[in-house]
Amino acid sequence: MNNTLKVERAIHNITQAKLAEMIGVSRQTVNAMELNKYVPSTVLALKISNIFKKPVNEIFFLDNND
């Protein structure tokens, strides 16, 4: 699964640490999501989509290998 988290954070001027605090995870978890090493739960993906005011599938999407 790929995502646009890093881009969204930059657009909204939010650090990894701040996003982590907002969604209740560690900064390392946000980093792992950005590096496609961690797939978030549905609840976590929904929290992130609410913060960026975008549908989940505009932030998280499958690639050809998924």
What's the pLDDT score for residue 4? 97
Q: Which residue has the higher pLDDT, 57 or 65?
A: 57
Taking the whole predicted model, whether its pTM rises above 0.85 is answered as yes
pLDDT digits (tens, 9 = 90+) for 19-45: 999 999 999 999 999 999 999 999 999
| Domains of the chain and CATH, by start | 2-58 (1.10.260.40)
Give residues with Cβ within 8 angstroms of 35, minimum separation 6: none
Give residues with Cβ within 8 angstroms of 18, minimum separation 6: none
What's the pLDDT score for residue 63? 83
DSSP state letters, the chain? -EE-HHHHHHHHT--HHHHHHHHTS-HHHHHHHHTTS-PPPHHHHHHHHHHHTS-HHHHEE--TT-
